[in-house]
Copies of this chain bind each other. A is one copy, B any other.
Amino acid sequence: MSTAQDTAGGETPAWAEVTPDAARRLLIAAVEAFAERGYHATTTRDIAGRAGMSPAALYIHYKTKEELLHRISRIGHAKALDILRTAARREGTPAERLADAVGSFVRWHAGGRTTARVVQYELDSLGPDARAEILALRRQCDAEVRGIIEEGVAAGDFDVLDVKGTTLAVLSLCIDVARWFNVDGPWTPDEVGALYADLVLRMVGAA
């Protein structure tokens, strides 16, 4: 159960950047707990218990419960931005790059649903400073997708009425996968990624 959360493509083991080991185990426990119950409904005793430690151990590695959420949010958003950036800057037509971006972004939200849930839906539980920092990362995600769509429009490959609105809709569609995707459901992350890539190409008039 503790090794269930990997990255979208299985590149690097998840949360490898968090050290030492005890801090990583606590963070993974927090991700699972926040995803299941939400930030406010999760107790520090629950997090420590999942990591096999006493409640006090949490405060050796993190100043507060909110710092845990902040760390999770920052690492998660960095990963999401990395996925979109990689797709946006590869070679290929705008349609190919948009399909790649949506496909891999959706695979991450479906496969790493536990992490994605926390990253995408617990943002409001952060304090003002931390939230502002995360929102900046979000705007960069938006910019990457909008960039691809604008290039497609400029090249005459896409037919879009409202670039800003369509960008928002595309991201919204991908993000909401984290809310409804069920590992035991009828689709694999790959299947949802492929379906969504097709749907998004239709949305921008590239089909």
Chain A interface (Cβ within 8 Å of chain B)?
37-38, 40-41, 121, 124-125, 161-162, 164-166, 168-169, 172-173, 175-177, 179-180, 186-187, 192, 195-196, 198-199, 202-203, 205, 207
Q: Please state if A166 and B199 are interface contacts (CB–CB under 8 Å).
A: yes
Contact in complex: B38, A161 (CB < 8 Å)? no
A202 to B175, CA, bound (A): 20
What residue of chain B has the Cβ atom nearest to residue A186's Cβ? B164
- The 10 A-B residue pairs with the shortest CB-CB distance in the complex, in nearest-first order: A40-B40, A176-B176, A40-B41, A172-B176, A165-B195, A202-B202, A199-B203, A173-B173, A202-B203, A169-B199
State the main secondary structure of chain A at its contact with B.
helix
Closest to A123 in B: B179
- Residues in B neighbouring A40, C-beta threshold 8 A: 38, 40-41
The distance from the CB of A35 to the nearest CB of chain B, in whole angstroms, is 10
Q: How far is the CA of A164 from the CA of B180 in the complex (A)?
A: 13
Offer 13 A-B interface pairs, CB within 8 angstroms, sorted by A. Answer: A37-B124, A38-B40, A38-B124, A40-B41, A41-B125, A121-B179, A164-B186, A169-B173, A169-B196, A172-B173, A172-B177, A172-B179, A202-B203
Q: Are B38 and A195 in contact (CB under 8 A)?
A: no
Q: Which residues of B contact A175 (CB under 8 A)?
A: 176, 179
Q: Are B203 and A205 in contact (CB under 8 A)?
A: no
Cα(A73)–Cα(B199), bound, Å: 30
Q: Which residues of B lie under 8 Å from residue A168 when comparing CB positions? A: 180
Given contacts A40-B41, A203-B199, is CB(A192)–CB(B165) below 8 Å?
yes
With A205-B202, A207-B205 as contacts: A195 and B161 at CB distance below 8 Å: yes
**A169-B199, A172-B176, A172-B177 known, 15 other contacts, Cβ within 8 Å:** A38-B38, A38-B125, A40-B40, A121-B179, A161-B198, A162-B195, A165-B195, A168-B180, A169-B195, A172-B173, A172-B179, A175-B179, A176-B179, A202-B203, A203-B203
